[in-house]
Structure 1
């Protein structure tokens, strides 16, 4: 039987030992709960396992007996959080529940059919349309179990999950769900790739419709066509792309935008390198224009990037440097898990001003794990 114990506190620089006493969650974890125990039992899901160092529980020596979690993070910062009676009971039950293997410390090794990482926080979208964020605490053949901040423990059947994406440390800490893999700025591609089975459709400036799809984690294909063929616009553009991750944050890609229409054909062949995450990244690229068998001798240089400034809003810029000047788009993207909208303003050395020129709505689709 699980026993909730109370022990005399150790000296701690930030602990009010004269007004509170240490509360031991369980003899299994002891006075100090480390990152491995947090991950193994799915404790404190509102904190990222990657940034968590250790936590202690203290109970106030007052009639209300308030319980406080004092957490120390890997960067040295500390934070206090009031723990409700319900949350305390959930944590005690989590530690009491046996784990599959005592040797398993926070991470479940992937097999041919199982790549779920216990202790990782995920953004989960269900087929029913509802979604939540939670830390994976158990993985079974037919179901997954998550610890969530507001809903407690949730057990979800695998066949009810439409989309499940791991959150980065930054996203988990802020409570941000993924809103795209950072594969493009506005028009400009980045070095990041769509994952296998991930894709999006987009409407650009009302008159153009496009789509891109990840065939594998390293190969994607896309197309862009007029939304009303023959109504003053008649062309087809194809956008194949291949890429590889060099490190966790550095990605390289090469691709082609090939268009045919109006009695001619041409496009641009490019290579791009991107450093950063899906939410915060910078891209440097080079491309060569070609048409009717001729290749432009001078390259076009791309310098751009994106930075996510809030849960829904990102700032974007893509600048093209070419012989004779430069130009580009700067603007904003507002995104949810599936839907996004972008507004870009055109600038160029010879324009003498900034003008709205890019309006886009996009929908992400596909099951991504």
Structure 2
């Protein structure tokens, strides 16, 4: 290994070490503050489990927390986030939403956390994998599994997403995705931009995008959607796609349903409708 490459590797490792150390120091400071103010904390582990409790002890590498399930000694390196519990805000003790970065089908302005991902199955026959490379970059890939069709007649997708938070309530993202639809030679590429306003238990998202195929592009689509979390385990969900039609008009694909939220999974059930046609939507997401 050359001296230059060795130096770059060392610098990268040093930067990562400082980042991890800073995060651990922040966790420890939050535990100390909660203990001094005699307040409870919400602890979210890297495996997705969430605990609420009172501080028993704060050590160099871990903190002891008394929860309703007993006393746990949480190592800082296994904590994803810790915050002081607000008894006036019931959602401050809720578990994370495994599907916070998407509506039924399309993406929101929110991103996956670094190192987290999920598998989503829709209508049994469609599978998709998403993974957060960093807090601002994620990738995804999917495929169909129609029985009786050869692999060359299945649908395949691949995409990437970048995004960031503008402040504590606004999130923006851009998404590019490639679709190979069954045995059609020319694939389809889509470009979308999204912005999400998030306040308390409500997320509102607006997106717009275009598709490209055969050296031509489509007219822009508009997507308006939202998610309202009424409890730790359930949220209402709506996703509405408005697309242009002939004579300067437009059509809308409307939807409404719910999301059942588990510690590592989410189950979406809803209905999509266009004009007088109504059809169900079923999807299951599991976090990894």
- Which category of TM-score, normalised to the shorter sequence, fits these structures? 0.7 to 0.9
The Cα of 1:179 is off from its aligned counterpart by 2.4
Task: After superposing the two structures, state which structure 1 stretch, 315-324 or 133-142, moved more.
Answer: 133-142
Superposed CA deviations along residues 146-176 of structure 1, whole A, max 9, x for unmatched, are 243x2565323456x4765658858962542
**2:171/2:195 contact within 8 Å kept:** yes
How far apart, CA to CA, are the structure 1 residues paired with 2:198 and 2:23?
29
Q: 1:157 to 1:168 in 2, by over 3 A?
A: closer
Q: 1:245 to 1:158 in 2, by over 3 A?
A: closer
Superposed CA deviations along residues 16-42 of structure 1, whole A, max 9, x for unmatched, are xxxxxxxxxxxxxxxxxxxxxxxxxxx
Question: Hey, what does 1:293 align to over in structure 2?
Answer: 215
Equivalent positions of 1:240-259 (< 5 A) are 240-259=160-179
Q: 1:142 to 1:168 in 2, by over 3 A?
A: closer
The Cα of 1:223 is off from its aligned counterpart by 0.9
Q: 1:172 to 1:230 in 2, by over 3 A?
A: farther
Aligned residues: 249
Q: TM-score with structure 1 length normalisation?
A: 0.60
How far apart, CA to CA, are the structure 1 residues paired with 2:285 and 2:132?
16
How far apart, CA to CA, are the structure 1 residues paired with 2:216 and 2:254?
24
Equivalent positions of 1:301-312 (< 5 A) are 301-312=222-233
Q: TM-score with structure 2 length normalisation?
A: 0.75
2:286 aligned with 1:363: yes
Quick check: which has more Rg, 1 or 2? 1
Superposed CA deviations along residues 181-237 of structure 1, whole A, max 9, x for unmatched, are 620011111000111011111111100111111100100001111236872651211
- Greater relative contact order (CA < 8 Å, ≥ 6 in sequence): 2
Consecutive unaligned residues in structure 2, runs of 5 or more: 1-20, 35-39, 246-250
Instruction: Choose between structure 1 and 2: higher helix proportion.
Output: 2
DSSP-derived class of the 1:318 partner: strand
Q: 1:141 to 1:283 in 2, by over 3 A?
A: same
Q: 1:154 to 1:200 in 2, by over 3 A?
A: same
How far apart, CA to CA, are the structure 1 residues paired with 2:45 and 2:23?
23
2:31 aligned with 1:111: no
2:199 aligned with 1:282: no
The Cα of 1:273 is off from its aligned counterpart by 0.4
How far apart, CA to CA, are the structure 2 residues paired with 1:242 and 1:170?
34
**1:193/1:218 contact within 8 Å kept:** yes
Question: Hey, what does 2:65 align to over in structure 1?
Answer: 146
DSSP-derived class of the 2:105 partner: coil
Question: Hey, what does 1:92 align to over in structure 2?
Answer: none
How far apart, CA to CA, are the structure 1 residues paired with 2:147 and 2:134?
30
Question: Hey, what does 1:227 align to over in structure 2?
Answer: 145
Q: 1:183 to 1:136 in 2, by over 3 A?
A: farther
Q: 1:274 to 1:199 in 2, by over 3 A?
A: same
DSSP-derived class of the 2:26 partner: coil
The Cα of 1:125 is off from its aligned counterpart by 4.8
How far apart, CA to CA, are the structure 1 residues paired with 2:139 and 2:234?
27
How far apart, CA to CA, are the structure 2 residues paired with 1:295 and 1:126?
42
Q: 1:289 to 1:240 in 2, by over 3 A?
A: same
When the two chains are superposed, the root-mean-square deviation of aligned CA atoms in Å is 3.0
Equivalent positions of 1:144-293 (< 5 A) are 144-148=63-67, 150-151=68-69, 153-158=71-76, 161=78, 166=83, 169=86, 173-174=90-91, 175-180=93-98, 182-227=100-145, 231=149, 233-261=153-181, 262=183, 263-277=185-199, 279-293=201-215
Equivalent positions of 1:314-353 (< 5 A) are 314-324=235-245, 325-349=251-275, 352-353=276-277
